[in-house]
């Protein structure tokens, strides 16, 4: 909304306010990384998501029926510990910082957490779904395993798939691990929450390995971690 911004800028200048404070006040909520609920996305982005999903044969009402909301795609990413195969893993900065604190706290409790997958672009997510279709899955089967492109928490850079030594990546046996018990007890202290519990409304299978960082939800702040 350039008109609103210009108006508030003019008003601020007239009032003698520093410009920086105006910019901060005018920043839309969409600029907050990892909110609990994604803000409404720009129409062009939503149209792109819908077009891609049409191309995959996803019913147009699929997202609405599963209570899924279009997610933004992260732009500025930082590296987190490499995955179990030694590949680079990225998240947005606040999520990466919280993950680092959580990994350190887990290590102090004798629990080794490892990454499997962090940020994934919408294009890559589309590729993953296409692979499943090529292997003969129906789109309904594929969408129980892979998030609908454009609606994936991985696209925001706020979600991370985790594992621990002895457990295969993205395997349901993670739910029986000491690491999972630790995450259930302590994840929220660092702002990490289980996105897809059994019977979730989004149509995804139970994913004990998938945790999402929500800004402002950590109950233990950096200064409390020794
Ligand atoms: Zn995941």
Distance 199 CA to ligand 1 centre (A): 16
Of the candidates 127, 54, 42, which has an alpha carbon nearest to the alpha carbon of residue 62? 54
Centroid of ligand 1 to alpha carbon of 48 (angstroms): 22
pLDDT higher than threshold 50 for residue 26: no
Residue 184: how many other CB atoms lie within 10 Å: 12
Query: How far from chain centre, in Å, is Cα 91?
Result: 8
**Phi, psi values for residue 166, rounded to 5°:** 95, -10
| 57 CA from centroid of ligand 1 (Å) | 22
Q: Is pLDDT of 212 > 60?
A: yes
**Contact (Cβ atoms closer than 8 angstroms) between residue 46 and residue 70:** yes
Place of tokens 């404070």: 21
User: What is the architecture, at CATH level 2, of domain 32-224?
Assistant: 2-Layer Sandwich (3.30)
Measured in Å, residue 206 CA sits from the centre of ligand 1 at: 11
Kindly give the distance from the C-alpha atom of residue 135 to the centroid of ligand 1, in angstroms, as a whole number: 21
Q: Which of 27-41, 67-81, 200-214 has the lowest mean pLDDT?
A: 27-41
- Is the model's pLDDT at 24 over the cut of 80? no
223 pLDDT band (50/70/90 cuts)? Answer: low
Q: H helices of the chain, where?
A: 2-15, 19-26, 43-55, 62-65, 93-108, 122-134, 139-145, 178-186
CA of 21 to the centre of ligand 1 (A): 37
Give the per-residue pLDDT at 117.
96
Q: What is the predicted pLDDT for the residue at 4?
A: 37
Average pLDDT (171-183) is 97
Q: On the CB side of 146, how many CA atoms lie within 13 Å of its CA?
A: 27
Within the chain, all domains assigned CATH 3.30.1380.10 are found at: 32-224
Q: Are 79 and 89 in contact (CB under 8 A)?
A: yes
Mean pLDDT of 35-53: 96
Residue 160 phi/psi, 5° resolution?
Answer: -145, 140
User: 182 pLDDT exceeds 60?
Assistant: yes
Please give the structure tokens belonging to residue 113: 């957490």
Tell me the average pLDDT across 18-33. Answer: 51
Distance, CA 119 to ligand 1 centroid (Å)?
9
Q: Which of 219, 56, 74, 83 is nearest to 160 (CA)?
A: 83
Question: Which pLDDT band, with edges at 50, 70 and 90, does 222 fall under?
Answer: low
Can you tell me which residue has the tokens 């987190």? Answer: 80
Answer whether 132's CB lies under 8 Å from 142's CB: yes
**22 CA distance to ligand 1 middle (Å):** 37
Task: Using a CB cutoff of 5 Å, list residues around ligand 1, an ion.
Answer: 161, 210
pTM over 0.75? The answer is yes
């Amino acid at each position: 909304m350039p008109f609103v911004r210009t108006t508030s800028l003019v008003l601020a200048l007239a009032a003698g306010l520093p410009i920086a404070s105006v910019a901060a006040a005018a920043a839309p909520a969409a600029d907050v990384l990892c909110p609990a609920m994604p803000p409404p996305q720009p129409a062009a982005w939503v149209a792109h998501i819908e077009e891609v999903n049409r191309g995959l044969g996803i019913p147009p009402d699929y997202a609405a029926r599963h209570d899924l909301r279009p997610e933004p795609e992260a732009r500025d990413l930082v590296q987190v510990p490499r995955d179990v195969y030694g590949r680079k893993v990225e998240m947005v900065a606040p999520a990466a910082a919280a993950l680092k604190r959580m990994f350190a706290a887990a290590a102090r409790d004798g629990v080794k957490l490892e990454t499997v997958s962090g940020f994934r672009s919408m294009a890559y997510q589309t590729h993953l779904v296409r692979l499943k279709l090529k292997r003969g899955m129906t789109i309904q089967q594929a969408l129980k395993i892979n998030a609908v492109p454009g609606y994936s928490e991985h696209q925001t850079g706020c979600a991370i798939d985790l594992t621990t030594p002895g457990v295969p990546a993205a395997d349901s046996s993670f739910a029986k691990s000491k690491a999972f018990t630790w995450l259930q007890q302590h994840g929220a202290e660092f702002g990490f929450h289980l996105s897809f519990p059994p019977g979730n409304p989004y149509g995804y299978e139970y994913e004990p390995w998938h945790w999402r960082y929500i800004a402002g939800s950590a109950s233990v702040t950096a200064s409390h971690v020794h």
